[in-house]
């Protein structure tokens, strides 16, 4: 799959390859109301990574349905909608509304957002808050519900457990790490928003560790992501327990990464005479 | 329609202490790219540096060009400023380089009366994309203002001379060549040339400070101006929304420099 926020709405990539070869497309995250996003600069390159502070700029639910959704009529592969809210009520409302939209294979709920009703504590940073949120959203939709976890937390496995108990069908991890950079000549932060999210090859070792920890803790499928640039990286995630993976930052550099990873995994299976990828999932799992 | 393809390095030569001319053989992009558009170049095979780098087209030669050797080639004039461009200075003849392009909207050429004074104002490496525009405009009452920090930052002067531009003006901040001061101050000092009955149209490309100054001036004089902007880019093809600029668009104030731009109407930019 391709990670939300790195693939636009899909159209931006259609010049480069046949999108239907992907397992699923996850477009930019949608909120109830349109969001303007953060002031620039929004991107800063680091060693083996990027920090982004895009700020969740998106057209909002109504505009998405009216102007963006029609494009997916010609897409045959799965469409998973990433969504988020500022309050629990917004998450529930969005889930309800997307429930009625035809052609959606599932929802990915971004819980790395601050709860403005609770002083800005990130939903995904507190097991109780995460559990409650997922419970409520679960009631609001029959669609497959994937919950995308934040790594900015001491014990991600406990959050994963909470959202599983709340009724999530799967978890996807990891989102970006809170990070920043400073320009010593201007003596100002490199990002307009000061803090952004770090992604790319630099985070892979931590992402892998977290996917492993979560796979040990939950029964539901785990979708792994974090610095996957090539098939070998994807296979590492599968071995530690991911049933599926997402490609994010790599898309920006090589738009064809998604299909190259798929081909690379196939090649690995053939070379190692493994007839089903499921045989590789969680080879490390202790149970 | 953008494509991703391998080009081959034909030449990579230093033309000034910090400036290099890179010639890439890449017919599919050379045939399609328009003035003011750009490419995203992959400068390394690994993660260092990670992102591609954006470059405006300087010169390009389609498949039909009379000089056989030049056919299918794309020329980039770049300044060695950081990690990415440093890597580029190491490109060797014959090596493959992955390119995405053509990208961006490019300059638009509205139908203008032939008496219109077309003014090009370029700062530093920004003059390069204005040169590609000048090639398409023809000599057409062309007034070119080239600015730079020092005389070593003044580019394309010979190129413009060959094109028979009506007049070429040079400004250096340290006074080592031409007028001492900013290129905008030079432009303002010459404004009397344009205070005739013919209308003016400005195309500009350069540092943010230069464009800001220009925006202040044209606002009051009511002259149309297209400005080509630059920004740190993530993907360069409109997917990540990292390269935005604030505009006066009510629906989507933050617009992508790689997609809705890099060329904008100067008056639509909201400077912060």
Q: How does pLDDT run across B5-21, given as a tens digit for each residue?
A: 999 999 999 999 999 99
| Record: contact B234-A52, CB cut-off 8 A | yes
pLDDT of residue B84: 97
Q: Within its chain, how far is the Cα of B184 from the centroid?
A: 17
List the single residue in B with minimal CA-CA distance to A54.
B242
Subunit contact A54:B241, Cβ cutoff 8 A: yes
pLDDT of amino acid B8? 98
B148 DSSP assignment = E
Q: In chain A, which residues have their Cβ closer than 8 Å to the Cβ of B52?
A: 252-253
B106-164 residue pLDDT tens: 999 999 888 889 999 999 999 999 999 999 997 678 999 999 999 999 999 999 999 87
Which pLDDT score, from 0 to 100, does residue B196 have? 67
Distances (CA, A) of B198 to A91, B118, B139, B141, B194: 59, 10, 16, 10, 8
Count the domains in chain A. 1
In Å, what is the CA distance from B124 to each residue of A251, B42, B60, B79, B149?
A: 32, 23, 20, 9, 7
B77 bridge partner residues: B21
Q: Which residue of A has its CA nearest to B233?
A: A43
Q: In what order do the strands lie in the sheet with A242-245?
A: A24-25, A78-83, A106-110, A144-148, A170-173, A222-224, A242-245
User: What percent of chain B is predicted at pLDDT more than 90?
Assistant: 86
CATH superfamily to which B3-103 belongs? Translation factors (2.40.30.10)
Nearest Cα to B120, choosing from B181, B129, B55?
B129
Q: Does the distance separating the beta carbons of B244 and A37 come in below 8 Å?
A: yes
Residue in A with minimal Cα distance to B272: A39
User: Is residue A17 domain-resident?
Assistant: yes
Per the domain annotation, does A15 fall within a domain? yes
Q: Which of A11, A22, A25, A40 to mutate to test the interface with B (most CBs of B within 10 A)?
A: A40
Distances (CA, A) of B97 to B30, B53, B70, B178: 14, 12, 18, 38
Structural domain includes residue A93: yes
CATH 2.40.30.10 positions along chain B are 3-103
Cis ω before A38 (30° cut-off from 0): no
Contact A48 B237 (CB under 8 A): no
Query: How many interface pairs between A and B have CB atoms less than 8 angstroms apart?
Result: 100
Domain CATH number, residue A130? 3.20.20.70
Among A8, A34, A39, whose Cβ lies nearest the Cβ of B272? A39
How far apart (Å, rounded) are the C-alpha atoms in residues A258 and A255?
8
Beta-bridge partner residues of B179 = B171
**Domain B117-268 grouped into CATH 3.40.50.80:** yes
Nearest-CA residue of chain A relative to B236? A252
The Cα–Cα gap between B224 and B203 comes to 9
Averaged pLDDT for residues B87-115? 96
Q: Is residue A257 assigned to a domain?
A: yes
Cross-chain Cβ contact A40/B245 below 8 Å: yes
CATH code 3.40.50.80 region(s) in chain B: 117-268
ipTM, two decimals, is 0.95
- Cβ burial, residue A14 (10 Å; 0-12/13-18/19+): middle
d(CA A31, CA B100): 31
Whether the bond into A248 is cis, omega within 30 of 0:
no
How many residues are present in chain A? 287
**Structural domain includes residue A2:** no
Averaged pLDDT, B36-45: 97
Does residue A49 fall inside a structural domain? no
In a domain, A44, yes or no: no
Inter-chain residue contact B50 with A50, CB threshold 8 Å: yes
The Cα A162–Cα A165 span in angstroms is: 5
Whether the pLDDT of residue B197 is over 70: the answer is no
Tokens encoding B66: 């009379």
The Cα of A158 is separated from the nearest Cα of chain B by a number of Å equal to: 31
A110/A237 Cα distance (integer angstroms)? 20
Per-residue pLDDT of chain A (287 residues; tens, 9 = 90+): 999 999 999 999 999 999 999 999 999 999 999 999 999 999 999 999 999 999 999 999 999 999 999 999 999 999 999 999 999 999 999 999 999 999 999 999 999 988 888 888 899 999 999 999 999 999 999 999 999 999 999 999 999 999 999 999 999 999 999 999 999 999 999 999 999 999 999 999 999 999 999 999 999 999 999 999 999 999 999 999 999 999 999 999 999 999 999 999 999 999 999 999 999 998 866 54
Q: Is A113 a catalytic residue?
A: yes
Choice among A50, A113, A159, A168 that is catalytic = A113
CB contact under 8 A, B4 and A255: yes
Partner residue facing B239 (CB), from A8, A49, A50: A8
Determine the structural domain holding residue A67 and report its residue range.
Answer: 11-37+55-176+200-279
CA distance B100 to B2: 7
């Amino acid at each position: 799959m391709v990670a939300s926020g790195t693939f636009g709405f899909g159209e931006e990539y259609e010049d480069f390859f046949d999108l239907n070869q992907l397992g699923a497309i996850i477009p930019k995250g949608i909120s109830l109301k349109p969001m303007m996003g953060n002031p620039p600069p929004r991107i800063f390159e680091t060693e083996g990574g990027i920090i982004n502070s895009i700020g969740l700029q998106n057209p909002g639910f109504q505009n998405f349905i009216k102007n963006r959704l029609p494009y997916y009529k010609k897409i045959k592969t799965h469409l998973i909608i990433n969504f988020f809210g500022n309050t629990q009520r917004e998450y529930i409302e969005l889930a309800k509304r997307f429930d009625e939209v035809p052609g959606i294979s599932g929802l990915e709920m971004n819980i790395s957002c601050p709860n403005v009703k609770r002083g800005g504590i990130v939903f995904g940073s507190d097991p109780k808050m995460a559990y409650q949120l997922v419970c409520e959203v679960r009631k609001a939709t029959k669609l497959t519900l994937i919950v995308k976890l934040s790594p900015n937390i001491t014990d991600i496995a406990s959050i994963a457990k909470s959202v599983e108990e709340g009724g999530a069908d799967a978890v996807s991890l990891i989102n970006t790490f809170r990070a920043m950079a400073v320009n010593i000549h201007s003596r100002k932060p490199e990002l307009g928003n000061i803090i952004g999210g770090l992604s790319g090859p630099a985070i892979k070792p931590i992402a892998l560790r977290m996917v492993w920890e979560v796979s040990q803790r939950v029964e539901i499928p785990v979708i792994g992501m974090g610095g996957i640039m090539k098939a070998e990286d994807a296979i590492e995630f599968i071995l530690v327990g991911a049933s599926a993976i997402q490609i994010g930052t790599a898309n920006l550099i090589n738009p064809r990464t998604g299909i190259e990873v798929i081909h690379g995994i196939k090649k690995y299976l053939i070379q190692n005479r493994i007839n089903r990828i499921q045989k590789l999932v969680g080879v490390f799992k202790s149970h | 329609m953008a494509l991703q393809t391998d080009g081959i390095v034909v030449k990579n030569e230093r033309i000034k202490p910090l400036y290099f001319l890179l010639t890439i053989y890449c017919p599919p992009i050379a045939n399609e790219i328009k003035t003011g558009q750009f490419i995203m170049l992959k400068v390394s095979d690994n993660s260092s540096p990670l992102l591609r780098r954006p470059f405006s087209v300087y010169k390009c030669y389609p498949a039909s060009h009379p000089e056989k050797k030049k056919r299918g080639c794309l020329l980039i004039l770049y300044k060695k400023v950081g990690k990415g461009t440093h890597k580029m200075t190491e490109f060797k003849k014959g090596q493959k380089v992955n390119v995405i392009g053509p990208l961006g909207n490019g300059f638009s050429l509205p139908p203008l009366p032939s008496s219109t004074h077309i003014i090009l104002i370029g700062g530093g490496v920004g003059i390069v994309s204005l040169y590609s525009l000048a090639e398409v405009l023809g000599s057409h009452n062309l007034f070119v203002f080239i600015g730079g920090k020092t005389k070593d930052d003044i580019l394309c002067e010979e190129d413009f001379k060959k094109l028979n531009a009506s007049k070429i003006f040079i400004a250096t901040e340290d006074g080592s060549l031409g007028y001492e001061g900013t290129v905008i101050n030079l432009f303002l000092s010459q404004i009397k040339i344009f205070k005739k009955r013919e209308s003016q149209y400005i195309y500009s490309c350069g540092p943010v400070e230069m464009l800001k100054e220009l925006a202040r001036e044209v606002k009051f004089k009511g002259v149309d101006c297209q400005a080509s902007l630059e920004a740190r880019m993530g993907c360069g093809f409109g997917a990540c929304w990292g390269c935005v600029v604030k505009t006066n668009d009510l629906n989507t104030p933050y617009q992508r420099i790689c997609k809705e731009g890099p060329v904008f109407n100067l008056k639509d930019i909201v400077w912060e």
